[in-house]
Amino acid sequence: MKYKKALILFILSAVLFFSITANARNIMTLDEIKPGMAGTARTVFQGYKVEEFPVEIIDIVKEGLNKKLILFKAGGEKIEELGGIASGMSGSPVYVDGKLIGAIAYGWTFSDHRYGMITPIEDMLKLLDYADENQDTGNSDEYTNIQLKTPLFISGMNGRSFLRLKSKFEDMGFQVLQAGSIGMAPSTAEPLEEGSAVGLQLVRGDINIAAIGTLTYKENEQFIAFGHPFTNKGDVDYLFSRAYINSIIPGLDSPFKLGTVTDELIGSVTIDRGAGIAGRLNKYPKIIPLTIKASDLDRKQSNTVSVQLVKDEDILTSLIVDISLQALDSTLDRIGKGTADVKLKITGKGLPDLGIERSNMFYSRNDIAAAALYEVYELFDIINRNPYQKVSLIDIKLDVEISNQDNVALIQEARVLNKKIEPGDTLDVEITLLPYRSEPIVKLVSLKLPDDIKTGSATLAIEGGATFTSYQTIPEEKNAEENYAIVEGYTDLDSILEDYLARPKNNDLILQLYPPYSSEKEEAIGENEGDIDKEKDDIGRDDIIEVGDAQSTEKASHSKYRIKDDEEEASSEIKLLETTEYVMEGSLFIDINIEGEEPESEDTGAADN
């Protein structure tokens, strides 16, 4: 009995507290709202000016578990002229008897657009009080089919880079449109108020990507908007700004607001949940500066693109790659062949020594801009999707120089000049390179042999750094299962990046000697000789061309010719990287004989007493 009294007292106290809070905030709760009530909504139809239009409450509709929405019909001269409520009105506050009841958030496509749904204000106010990570502030799943599409405006991008991002964001449920650049909107003396047009920005600077909606409510330095989720990710850290509305465009699907964000940054979005977005004014998120310098060496033209990116790992790789592609395409003003020198510098907490750098040369016969960004994509895909630790990126700098030259060469011939080869000798190799449509070039390269190398038959592999890499297009984004293959066999992010950065560059000429096997392995090798020969046949033995003592094939990989000891250390490799002026393609294999006495091994037996 005492328990029941205590429970009733607690419920009454809670109701009284919320009633006092509601009165203090001048809101009307859902249980006070009745069908037939008349109200007004506030939004921006053009420019910055907030205007009102009438609404009629039709009913209260239950949606999902313990969730209710308010069904309404909009009216007024401008609504009738436009054909109904528009995308971009999400968050427009609705008042009955001067009290805030919620925000316009949902509608139907290919229907009478004067009808829509309002998210109750008490659900939205929970976003301001959000503190407990597990607290339920609503889930958008049950509303997905009727949610007003949030117009996502992309400015400063066109062509294929725009289409790539458009496709990605449309898959996320956004209505993607091109817009004018930031700064094109006129300045305003209009105050920020309930009903003002606002923008949630993902990218800011020379290129802008922003969703435009409406401010529902602000209290001190806190605000709520949209009335439905943006990404529904919970805790976020997005840019928040004013927006300018050019006009509202009628449409069969639904009308939509055409606008642009302004250069007036006003705060940050920190919460993104079912009832809307919320955040703080005059407090700004941590961003990632991205600077891209693109140079066309033939036309002596260069452009620098500078943007600020939000820290959202799910979209960050796409943003970096597609914005970089826009910078290259705009500078080259063509899609075609060429050679690119690429330098990438990434600074961030969680990276080895707080940063990594990578430079490389790329060549493409079809699309050099896309080829130049191959490693940019791969590195950020590793960083953003690694399962070991979060990397807080601080700064990104990308420098790409492109020419129309065919700086690519094929390894045509090779021969070892030594008459006799013994342990400790320097192997002198004459290599003939065939640049594209040019005269052959002969290079002399020396490779020092260890003093303790085994004697007998060995194989010298000569390869180009770009031989086994296909980078003619930017890779498609990987799913979680495919990404696992990248990290399989590693235990931390540092080791993945260390191996990646140690990879030969495309313009490297690689010489690697595979020494004779030790006697304890001979038996195992004998058992596998048939398998090795079969592998050679499988990779295309008919394509092998005899060139002196060398064999050349573009399909063969030296790793297939060898039974590698799993415990062998990388430091035992006999390998040389010779940097050239060309992207190197092709491979040759030369069999050599190392003469001399077998090096003495240490006596591991027990000593005599």
Count helices and strands in the chain by DSSP H and E runs: 10, 29
Pairing of strands 175-178, 151-155: parallel
Q: Do 359 and 375 meet the contact criterion of CB atoms below 8 Å apart?
A: no
Report the C-alpha gap between 148 and 117 in whole angstroms. 9
Strand order through the sheet with 408-416: 441-448, 426-435, 408-416, 583-585
Q: Which two tokens stand for residue 278?
A: 């919320």
User: What CATH class is the domain 151-244+260-287?
Assistant: mainly beta
- Those residues whose C-beta lies under 8 Å from the C-beta of residue 35, and which sit 6 or more positions away, are 57, 58, 59, 60
- Whole-number pLDDT of residue 607: 41
The 10s digit of each residue's pLDDT in 451-476 is: 999 999 999 999 999 886 655 567 66
Q: Which two tokens stand for residue 168?
A: 């990605």
Report residue 346's pLDDT band, with 50, 70 and 90 as the boundaries.
very high
Other CB atoms within a 10 A radius of the CB of residue 162 amount to: 19
Q: Tell whether the model's pLDDT for residue 361 goes beyond 80.
A: yes
Half-sphere exposure in the Cβ direction for 53 (13 Å, CA): 22
Report the C-alpha gap between 387 and 397 in whole angstroms. 25
Q: Tell whether the model's pLDDT for residue 543 goes beyond 80.
A: no
Q: Which two tokens stand for residue 71?
A: 């069904």
- Whole-number pLDDT of residue 172: 87
151-244+260-287 shares the fold of 17-130+139-143:
yes
- The mean pLDDT value of the chain amounts to 83
Three-state SS at 573: coil
- Calculate Rg over the CA atoms of the chain: 33
Report the C-alpha gap between 269 and 241 in whole angstroms. 10
The 10s digit of each residue's pLDDT in 201-218 is: 999 999 999 999 999 999
Lowest mean per-residue pLDDT among 290-294, 434-438, 487-491, 590-594 = 487-491
- Whole-number pLDDT of residue 108: 83
Phi, psi of 281 (to 5 degrees): -85, 150
Domain ranges for the chain, please list them: 17-130+139-143, 151-244+260-287, 289-403, 408-469+506-594
Report the C-alpha gap between 125 and 477 in whole angstroms. 37
Q: Tell whether the model's pLDDT for residue 10 goes beyond 80.
A: no
Other CB atoms within a 10 A radius of the CB of residue 417 amount to: 10
User: What CATH class is the domain 17-130+139-143?
Assistant: mainly beta
Q: Do 246 and 46 meet the contact criterion of CB atoms below 8 Å apart?
A: yes
Phi, psi of 280 (to 5 degrees): -125, 140
Three-state SS at 528: helix
Q: Which two tokens stand for residue 172?
A: 């996320």
The 10s digit of each residue's pLDDT in 105-132 is: 998 877 888 999 999 999 999 999 863 3
Q: Do 458 and 561 meet the contact criterion of CB atoms below 8 Å apart?
A: no
